Chain A
């Protein structure tokens, strides 16, 4: 069974720092990987989607990389802002026909950016 681990569990930094959030997964046979943001008590907002054939994706100050063979993904946040404070979730989709749609989630990294 796929297991997804995120490190660190929590991170508290001053505004302006560049951040690295890590995600690892045990089964490298993935179709793609998504990074989400979740604000307290809310749903999930999709940030970046990386296909298994891709190495990285960028959106604004966010950059996600994927090393499928080693089972790792990294989310970089440049020039962090207080508005980036949220929980960041990594999720992988298996490369299996009957279960292609479902996601396996990590426990998340809770980020606090203070002014």
Chain B
């Protein structure tokens, strides 16, 4: 299994500002993902973080709003830009090491409140 450290665990931010969330994994992993969980909802995939290249975004999510970096196989960041109250959610980093089991592991999440 992989151990994922996600920072910050929570934050309260002013509208119009940006927040960068970090995801650190204790081992090299093939795939990293960023999900959003809005209040009372299930998880929605934002993007796949690709090492050394631009992230692959899902429909409804754009790079200008959610820029993602992945400089190596153990680290990624997600930035939530120009925040509004609608961005208040839990943001979760997930890793998958492709193999027979292909099991996903999640960080503890970042609880973001925009005021």
Interface residues of A (CB under 8 A from B): 31-32, 34, 36, 41-46, 49, 51, 89, 91, 93, 100-103, 105-108
Nearest opposing residue in chain B for A89, CB measure: B42
A-B pairs, 7 with minimum CB distance? A101-B31, A43-B108, A44-B106, A43-B109, A101-B96, A107-B42, A105-B43
A102 and B102 form a contact (CB under 8 A) = no
Please tell me which one of the listed residues A31, A36, A45, A108 contacts residue B102 in the complex, with CB atoms under 8 A apart: A31
Please tell me which one of the listed residues B96, B98, B102, B109 contacts residue A42 in the complex, with CB atoms under 8 A apart: B109
Nearest opposing residue in chain B for A103, CB measure: B104
Interface residues of B (CB under 8 A from A): 1, 6, 10, 30-31, 33, 41-43, 45, 48, 90, 92, 94, 96, 98, 100-109, 111
Please tell me which one of the listed residues A43, A51, A101, A106 contacts residue B42 in the complex, with CB atoms under 8 A apart: A106
Extra 15 A-B pairs, beta carbons < 8 Å, given A101-B104, A102-B33, A107-B42 = A34-B104, A36-B106, A41-B111, A42-B108, A43-B108, A44-B94, A44-B106, A45-B106, A46-B106, A101-B48, A101-B96, A101-B102, A102-B45, A106-B42, A107-B41
Q: Which interface residue of B33, B43, B45, B105 has the most chain A CB atoms within 10 A? A: B43
Label chain B's interface by main secondary structure.
Answer: strand
A43 and B92 form a contact (CB under 8 A) = yes
> With the chains together, A49 CA to B111 CA distance in Å?
26
Contacts A46-B105, A91-B104; A108 near B42 (Cβ below 8 A): yes
Cross-chain pairs A/B with CB under 8 angstroms, 9 sampled: A42-B109, A43-B107, A45-B106, A49-B101, A89-B42, A91-B104, A101-B96, A101-B98, A101-B102
A102 and B48 form a contact (CB under 8 A) = yes
